[in-house]
Structure 1
Amino acid sequence: MPYIAVTALSHVGLVRERNEDSLVVGPWTLCGTVTQNPQTLLFPFGRPLVVAVADGLGGQPAGEVASELVVRHLASLGAELDGEDALGDALRRCNHAVHSATDGRPDLAAMGTTIAGALVLPESLVVFNVGDSKVFRAAPDGLHQVSVDDSPPPAPGHRTTSAVTQTLGGSRGYHTIVPHIAAFELTEGDRYLVCSDGLTDPVPDEEIEDLLRVHDDGRAAFELWRAAIDAGGPDNITLALVRVSA
């Protein structure tokens, strides 16, 4: 029987004082903790399975509160996430929930989070994101980013930018998000990487591609984390590798 294997980890990095990233894998969530050693979970194929990384906004209060709220909400939905429309509705509800959580709480004002992930369905895999966390497809012909960055082009001479133009929560209104959602044909052996920018900012795509080509999922997750640490670990590092296997 086909199954879905998800290998994940989350780490504070070398510079930040706390981990503001959160992770959801089906009903399982990981919020604000450190798992330097990758964990692998197996799920039966055929039921909706959501895998997503939420990166709380740095420079704003309570980023970890926003990211945890979002992943716990997605985890609670389970089989309700049965398609693109349901997923879009869920993301808009997450946005509303983050804003609502700040009512009467000046300590939470302007908190927000990115979200990026994959929803595995019986006939397709649906990629989604709001913000600049990313989803890649590791294919025989190379690594392809399949999420859409909500960020302006980097300045000349720079490879990345820390600015984001769209988040869940943050300083924008309740109904302003436009989630990026795209469905892909699902085939055995498909491999996707979902990650926060704590991986992609310090580690070039070419290095990520090389590590995924050489290593299986457990080792690849560890080597990706180590590459970000070796590059200075400037931000929280959270990643999940998703594979559909026979």
Structure 2
Amino acid sequence: MTTTFGPELQRWRGSRRLSQLELAARAGTTQRHLSFVESGRSRPGRAMVLRLAESMQLTLRERNELLLSAGYAPVYPESALDEPALRPVRDALHRIIEGHMPYPAVVVRAYGDVVAANEAMSVLTDGAAPWLLKPPVNVLRLALHPEGMAPRVRNLDAWGRHVIDSLVRLRALRGHTPELDEFIAELGSYVPPAAPGPDHLGFAVPLRLTYGDGELRLLTTLTSFATAVDVTLAELHLEAFLPADDATVEALRKRAGG
């Protein structure tokens, strides 16, 4: 049976900048065997495909795709988020984001599509165009669009580039797709160019947001399901905004009424 596994394995190995020897050592096989697999001279077993995928830290969706390329059926299910089987997870997510009050928190799919948000997220969306708030809301587009949060973001150049760079790094790991390329280009068109100065903080870029007569300073944290065995759950992220100074703490607590 002809498969596309060899070229796919080479592509993923290249995106991870791994030599055949390095990947073979991680997966518990030999460079010779890996060479035979990539050239199509040897067909790997399903367990080997999974070991290679895990060694390259592929997502569950990508592992399923790698299995298909080798002629095997996917092993990780992909459930709809509204299925009864996932109700405990949905309930847990809602408890987490409500417990984060009075600070904003949102649950998103890959590339920023919103699944759930707490009431405090309205502090970020105040003044945004109604069309940007119609489901499915994309929190990244909302954050950077001129009709979204952008007019209130005082450090749009640095913070916007921080948001876009995170997608660029993801693309380097996951590979190019037309949809992701177009999305990154779209977001980039909303953000002014930024030249890192002496105060550049790299990944630790706080969001500076106009609020009334003052400013909110917020840091973001991302949480994922590290042990998920369902594609849908594995692709969800919880993005929580934390106050970066006492003034922000006070403003958000006062806004929530205590």
Instruction: Give the number of the structure whose alpha-carbon radius of gyration is greater.
Output: 2
**Normalising to structure 1: TM-score of the pair?**
0.24
Q: Considering fraction of residues, name the structure with more strand.
A: 1
> Which of the two has greater helix per residue?
2
TM-score in terms of structure 2 length: 0.23
